[in-house]
Amino acid sequence: MRTKMFSQLASGGSTYGAFTLINQPEVVEIMGSLGLDFMCMDMMLGALDWRTASAMALAAERYGMSTMIRVPSYPWSGRRDMVDHHIATDVLRAVSIGADVVMASLETPEQVASALHPTTNSHRRIYLPKFEFEAHGTPEERAGLDEQTANEHAHAWLLPLIESRLAAEQLEDIVTVDGLQAVFLGMSDLANEFGHPNDYTHPEMDEMVQRAVEQASKHSVAVFVNIMGAGTGPARVQEAVARYEQMGVRGFFLPFDSAILIRFYRDVMSTLRPQ
């Protein structure tokens, strides 16, 4: 699973990608052809179905992009004792259609551990020969498999999305969960949770990010953030990335596709039909 995202992180570099809310393979191909390292589909919100998600995953693979899928959850329960095992079921299905990374909004170490378990399941692209021969083949067919090829897609990552107050409070324990590779700070909802709507650069938010990086780095866990609140202009995006890179953030969700379209057409129409 040596996609560009994993290679960048392994070499100590930063990795860049974006959510897609338009949910079309063609958009994924645009992202891949322009050099993004990963793309993320959203099955928590919106109308995306599994068949379309599978086609989008194949489009991403063509360009060496990592496929992320955010599965449904409700991250604001505030209950430390609640583990929703349906999330693990969706994680397994996401892995089976080719997701390299499965994102879920989670709040506690117990929830993370439950969702993490299916990422090592071998039921990945079960319609392909390498799975058929490895799982159901005769001794001769199994012996003919190249071990590296048979197992190259065996393990996906879980990316816990931290976007509630409880999740932020539990982060120090979440990053200790065995097998966890990265966490994602959902800056939009965290800013709302802590009383700073759309103010991602508030000192309390910066302190939160810095603390998360320090806690995560102790356990070799990478930290991702979204920078949608910086706007969609290249200069502002570059400035936001530079700020977080100085804090030790490794992964960046750039402005998503529909946000770029909205702002572009708003600006164009305001010049064509000024009020």
Task: Please tell me the pTM assigned to this model.
Answer: 0.90
pLDDT of 220: 96
Average pLDDT over residues 14-26: 96
E-state strands within 26-91: 38-42, 66-70
Separation of alpha carbons 267 and 77, rounded Å:
39
- The 10s digit of each residue's pLDDT in 98-138 is 999 999 999 999 999 999 999 988 888 888 887 888 888 88
DSSP SS3 for 275: coil
Q: How far apart are alpha carbons 133 and 150 in whole angstroms?
A: 9
**150 confidence band (pLDDT: 50, 70, 90):** very low
Closest by Cα among 217, 189, 222, 187 to 205: 187
